[in-house]
Amino acid sequence: MKIVTKKIKIEDFSPEIRKEISKLAWSLNPLFDQLETLINRKGLTVEDNLPFKYQEVTLELNASSEPKERVILPNPFGNNFKGFIVTNVTDSGTITGAPYISWEFSNSSILVKKVLGLPQDTKYTLTLLLLS
């Protein structure tokens, strides 16, 4: 992803507020330059630098919406783990709602307790966004 930043130009503003805009531009214009350099030239990506991680999990649910086999995921965030967002569901039959995952900590891992919104007895691959 390439970004192009637009600098704050003092002359774009009325003479009455140019002094205040000048202070703002003095602070923000160098920041815009640094961000553009980091993203466009140094390869800074959101995925590499923000506290989240994608994880795929394949599971099949029973009538109580529990996985038929235990699903234990590594916890990359320790006590800062906040939860999941399901970003994709594949190999699916009919989805009955937006999938929601209930979970609990299990030592240094995350145990998936239930997945609501998916019918039983169908194998699904979920792409999860783990949040910190």
pLDDT digits (tens, 9 = 90+) for 22-49: 999 999 999 988 888 888 877 777 666 6
Query: In 10 A of CB 116, how many CB atoms?
Result: 13
Pair (124, 93) in one structural domain: yes
The per-residue pLDDT for 2 is: 75
Predicted model pTM: 0.63
Pair (62, 122) in one structural domain: yes
Q: Which tops the pLDDT comparison, 6 or 43?
A: 6
Task: Name which of 112, 60, 110, 69 is nearest 89 in CA terms.
Answer: 60
Percentage with pLDDT > 70 across the chain: 94
Task: Name which of 47, 50, 72 is nearest 59 in CA terms.
Answer: 72
The number of folded domains in the chain is 2
Pair (77, 97) in one structural domain: yes
Pair (112, 91) in one structural domain: yes
Domain that holds residue 73: 51-131
pLDDT digits (tens, 9 = 90+) for 76-102: 887 788 888 888 888 766 777 788 999
In whole angstroms, give the CA distance from residue 35 to residue 49: 13
Q: Which of 10, 27, 50 is the last residue of a domain?
A: 50
Please compute the mean of the pLDDT values over residues 9-15 and round it to a whole number.
93
Pair (102, 57) in one structural domain: yes
129 exposure class (CB count in 10 Å sphere: 0-12, 13-18, 19+): middle
With tokens 């699904």, the residue in question is 124
**pLDDT above 90 for 51:** no
The per-residue pLDDT for 6 is: 86
pLDDT digits (tens, 9 = 90+) for 111-122: 999 999 888 898
Pair (31, 58) in one structural domain: no
